[in-house]
Structure formats: structure tokens, C-alpha cells
Amino acid sequence: MPRLSSLAFATALALAAVPLAAQAQAAGKVKVGFMLPYTGTFAALGVAIENGFRLHVEEQGGKLGGREVEFVKVDDESDPAKATDNVNKLIKRDNVDVLVGTVHSGVVMAMAKAAKDNNTLLIVPNAGAGAVTGPMCGPNIFRSSFSNWQPAYAMGEVAVKKGYKKAMTITWKYAAGDESVAGFKEAFEKGGGSVMKELNLPFPGVEFQALLTEIAAAKPDVVYTFFAGGGAVKFVKDYAAAGLNKTVPLVGAGFLTDGTLEAQGDAAQGLLTTLHYADGLNTPRDNAFRLAYAKTFKLQPDVYAVQGYDAAQMLAAGMSAVKGDTSKRDALVAAMEKARIDSPRGAFTLSKAHNPVQDIYLRKVEGKENKVAGVAAKALSDPARGCKL
């Protein structure tokens, strides 16, 4: 029975090889898969996130938990229709240890599902979809950014304090836009205001003209908006070109003016927004981060760079607790859960659903900066509706 015995021999060899392979794995590189937009309206956001992440890893000598880091990446194009295929490339083809992504709330839903199905560790460095830290929450799913509800709810409270009574909203028709408007509306209506009309256009459209005409005719006290990236640049310029910046105050979640001011120029001056980051925080931590980022990338950092940097800080906390042994998943997750992240935005901890509990700043555009004008909401925690952990 020569065939059987050679099979037995091969099996014995394979079994003997397992501990060796496991050792090589523990000592080898840890594989991080970036799934981010590198094209389209959110392209600059993806680049800033990757830069921020790499900066923190470089500051740790290129290692996490003593292991060198290998990066692989996929351009998700902010396209939910391609998201499942894209995330499976990273999980099944590239065999990543950790997934980092993405920006778009629709795309992140496919990532969270795949991360759950395959028990892959996922850190979300932007997308605010409520479900990620709500109904889809899980021990292997973390977020270093915000929930769509957080900056929006804070702005609803600001708008109430300013005495506005009638608001209109305008955004892209997709999860992030819908949830941002809902968060604003929740706080604004709680404070006695009312939302007269919710205007929408499909993502990533920029045909704003008819909607701006509607705003001019309805004359609300205030307009609340969620736009980001290239779309935000065009919206702020069109709002000013229509003369509305002189007649109807525009407020928004801070993505409206983050990473966009160079391109928005005069059209953005004076805009008030709420976000978990701002210019002019002037803390030693933020100053050091900004200097290092500018030196490394010849670019000014923005909120996306901070979120990428903090995703790496969260992973570093887990990896150093298990000395790079990602097979100790429970200990790795426990260390990430209890980490206090020394973020450029200000230190934060994570909620039970793994979302940052953080201050939301009120910011005012002055020149090329979103100057901090105060704290709109202190240590704001997403309600994590539907999360059972």
C-alpha cells in the first residue's frame, strides 16, 4: 500500500509543519487591509485616513505589538454595489489580519457583515452608519471616528440656542445623509424647532440648483446640511453663488468644511459647523500630530487624518497587549475596549458598542481654518440603539 503510506507520510509532515507555520505567523508581518475610496468624491478622505494610519505606525518604528506591518489596499470607489466583492478580496484573497475601512456609510454595511461572517477584526476610520455601532455591533467591530448622529445632534442643540425656529435640510439620499438629518431634527425638535422640509439628491450628485431655488423661496431661519469631500466643495460654492449665504444661515456637520477650505475659499467664510475635531485646539498632543503630519506628507491634516491615526492607535493598544499574537483575539479586543486613546482631537474612550465617547466642537470658518469656537456637546455618546453586546 505504497500510496496510503505516502499519504500518511504527507499528513504527518503537514501536521508537524503546523506549529512551525504558526510560529512564523506570530513572528511575521501583521497584514492590514485598507478598504477606502481612492477615486470619486471621497478620494481625498481615503488618502488622509491612510496617511494618518501610516503615520502612527511609523511613530511606533513601523511595528504593531512587535510585528512589522504589511499593507494591502482596495479602492472601494464609495460604491455599495461593489462593496461585498471588494471586502472579500481583502478577507479571502489577501487573508488580512485586520480590516480598516471605510468612508461611505453604505459601503461600510457590507464590510461589517463580512467582518461578522468571517470573524475578521474591523476598525472603521470614518463611516458614521448608526448600524455599525447599533444593530450590527459586535466584539470584532470598532470605530475610531463618530456616528452620524453625534455631530448632527450637537448642531440641533446649537441651532435651538441660536433661536432658530424653522429649518430646512439638504443632503445626499443615503444612510449618512438620512441619519445626519435625523440627528439634527431630534435635537432641534426637542428644543421646540421644526423642520419644514427635507431636501435630497442622489449620492454623489451635485445638481443643487433647483433645490437652492426652493430654499430661497421658502426662506427658513436656517439650513442644516450634510455633505463631504468634493460634493461639499461644490455645495458651499453654489450656496454662496446663489446669494443664499447673505440671507439664510447655513450650518452643518463639520465634514462640510473639513479638508475643503482651500477649494471653497471665500464661499465658506463664517460657516458654523459641529465636529469632533477643530483647528486651533492648541494642545501639545494636537500640535505634535499636526507638525509630524505636515512634515511627512506636505499636507495639513484634517479630521480624516485624525481618524486614521486613531484607528492605528486603537489597533496598537490591542496588539501590544497580546505582544503581536493576533490569535489571542479575546485579549486583543479587551485591550482595545478599555484603551484610552490619546487622540489629537482630545483623549477619548469607547462606548460599550465600540464608538468614541467624545467632545463635539463648535467651529467657525476663518480663512483656511475651522477655528474652535467652543464645545457644543461634552463627552457625547451615541445612543447605540439596537446594539446588544
Residues 183-222 that bind ligand PHB (CB under 6 A): none
Interface with ligand PHB: number of residues (CB under 6 A): 12
Number of other CB atoms surrounding residue 250 within 10 Å? 22
275 HSE (CA, 13 A, CB side): 32
Contacting residue, 103, 132, 158, 159, with ligand PHB by CB under 6 A: 103
Pick from 252, 239, 279, 229: nearest CA to 77: 229
Interaction of residue 274 with ligand PHB, rule CB under 6 A: no
3-state helix, strand, coil in the chain (%, to 5): 50, 20, 30
Phi and psi at 265, nearest 5°, equal 55, -135
Interaction of residue 127 with ligand PHB, rule CB under 6 A: yes
Phi and psi at 280, nearest 5°, equal 80, 20
Under 8 Å CB-to-CB from 232, ≥6 apart: which residues?
255, 256, 257, 260, 264
Interaction of residue 104 with ligand PHB, rule CB under 6 A: yes
Give me the residue whose beta carbon is nearest to ligand PHB. 228
Interaction of residue 41 with ligand PHB, rule CB under 6 A: no
Contacting residue, 255, 277, 309, 361, with ligand PHB by CB under 6 A: 255
CB of 322 to ligand PHB, least distance (A): 30
Pairing state between β 121-124 and 141-143: parallel
Under 8 Å CB-to-CB from 363, ≥6 apart: which residues?
254, 257, 272, 273, 274, 275, 278, 279, 370, 371, 372, 373
Q: Which stretch binds ligand PHB (CB under 6 A): 92-100, 122-130, 289-297, 328-336?
A: 122-130
Interaction of residue 128 with ligand PHB, rule CB under 6 A: yes
Q: Which stretch binds ligand PHB (CB under 6 A): 102-110, 205-213, 271-279, 333-341?
A: 102-110
359 HSE (CA, 13 A, CB side): 17
CA distance 299 to 281: 18
Contacting residue, 86, 105, 150, 326, with ligand PHB by CB under 6 A: 105
Q: Which stretch binds ligand PHB (CB under 6 A): 1-9, 98-106, 350-358, 368-376?
A: 98-106
Number of other CB atoms surrounding residue 68 within 10 Å? 14
Of 37 and 220, which has the nearer Cβ to ligand PHB?
37
Residue 289: left (phi > 0), alpha (psi -120 to 50), or beta? alpha
CB of 213 to ligand PHB, least distance (A): 26
CA distance 195 to 59: 47
Q: Which stretch binds ligand PHB (CB under 6 A): 30-38, 68-76, 110-118, 127-135?
A: 127-135
Residues 292-351 that bind ligand PHB (CB under 6 A): none
Q: Which stretch binds ligand PHB (CB under 6 A): 81-89, 103-111, 153-161, 318-326?
A: 103-111
Q: Which stretch binds ligand PHB (CB under 6 A): 12-20, 99-107, 267-275, 360-368?
A: 99-107
CB of 103 to ligand PHB, least distance (A): 5
Pairing state between β 121-124 and 63-64: unpaired
Of 107 and 195, which has the nearer Cβ to ligand PHB?
107
Q: Which stretch binds ligand PHB (CB under 6 A): 66-74, 124-132, 133-141, 376-384?
A: 124-132
CA distance 195 to 180: 13
Of 75 and 94, which has the nearer Cβ to ligand PHB?
75
Interaction of residue 225 with ligand PHB, rule CB under 6 A: no
Interaction of residue 228 with ligand PHB, rule CB under 6 A: yes
Q: Where does the chain have alpha helices with state H?
A: 2-27, 43-59, 83-88, 105-118, 149-161, 175-190, 209-218, 229-241, 261-264, 284-297, 303-321, 329-338
Binding mask 151-190 for ligand PHB (x = CB under 6 A): -------------------------x--------------
| Chain contacts with ligand PHB (rule: CB under 6 A) | 42, 103-105, 126-129, 148, 176, 228, 255
